[in-house]
Amino acid sequence: MSYKDTLLTPVKIGEKTCKNRFFMQAMECNDEDANGNPSQMTIDRYVNLANGEAGMFSLEAISITKESVSRNSQLTIMEPNRVALKNLVTEVKKASPDAIFIFQLTHAGELSNPDFSRRVTVKPLYGYGGDLLSEEEVDKIMDAFVLAAEIAHDAGADGIDMKLCHGYFGSQILRPYNDRKWKYGGSWENRSRFAFDLYERIQKRVNDKNFLIGSKISIWEGFPGGFGTCAPDSPVIDLTEPIALCKGLEERGAQFFIQSAGSPSITISLTQIDKTIPYYSYLHQYFANEIKKNLRPETVLIGSSFTPYRNGKNKLCAVSPEDSSLFGFGAQCVERKVCDMIALGRQSFADPHLPRKLREGKENEIKWCTICDNCLELLIQQSKIGCCTYNKFYTDELVRTRKEKGALQTNHT
Ligand SMILES: Cc1cc2nc3c(=O)[nH]c(=O)nc-3n(C[C@H](O)[C@H](O)[C@H](O)COP(=O)(O)O)c2cc1C
Ligand code: SF4
Rounded to whole angstroms, the Cα distance separating 162 from 136 reads 20
pLDDT at residue number 17: 98
Range 87-116 burial, b when 16+ CB lie within 10 A, else e: ebbeebbeebeebbbbbbbbbbbbbbbeee
Mutate to test the pocket of ligand 2, among 368, 371, 384, 412 (most ligand atoms within 8 A of CB): 371
Residue 355 burial (C-beta neighbours within 10 Å; 0-12, 13-18, 19+): buried
Q: Which atom of ligand 2 is nearest to the CA of 370?
A: 7
Nearest residue to 103 (alpha-carbon basis) of 202, 16, 215, 241: 215
What does the pLDDT profile of the chain (413 residues) look like in tens digits?
999 999 999 999 999 999 999 999 999 999 999 999 999 999 999 999 999 999 999 999 999 999 999 999 999 999 999 999 999 999 999 999 999 999 999 999 999 999 999 999 999 999 999 999 999 999 999 999 999 999 999 999 999 999 999 999 999 999 999 999 999 999 999 999 999 999 999 999 999 999 999 999 999 999 999 999 999 999 999 999 999 999 999 999 999 999 999 999 999 999 999 999 999 999 999 999 999 999 999 999 999 999 999 999 999 999 999 999 999 999 999 999 999 999 999 999 999 999 999 999 999 999 999 999 999 999 999 999 999 999 999 999 999 999 999 887 654 43
pLDDT at residue number 407: 82
Which SS3 state, helix, strand or coil, does residue 406 take?
coil
Rounded to whole angstroms, the Cα distance separating 394 from 377 reads 11
Rounded to whole angstroms, the Cα distance separating 24 from 50 reads 10
Distance 307 CA to ligand 2 centre (A): 10
DSSP secondary structure, 224-272, as one string: TT-TTEEETTEEEE--HHHHHHHHHHHHTT--EEEEE---HHHHHHHHS
Which pairing describes strands 100-106 and 212-218: parallel, antiparallel, or unpaired? unpaired
Mind listing the domains of the chain with CATH numbers?
3-367 (3.20.20.70), 372-413 (no CATH)
pLDDT at residue number 408: 78
pTM over 0.95: yes
pLDDT at residue number 409: 65
Ligand 1 binding site (Cβ under 6 Å of any ligand atom): 25-28, 60-61, 104, 165-166, 216, 260, 271-273, 304-308, 344-347, 375-376, 379, 385
| Contact status, residue 104 vs residue 59, Cβ threshold 8 Å | yes
Distance 26 CA to ligand 1 centre (A): 6
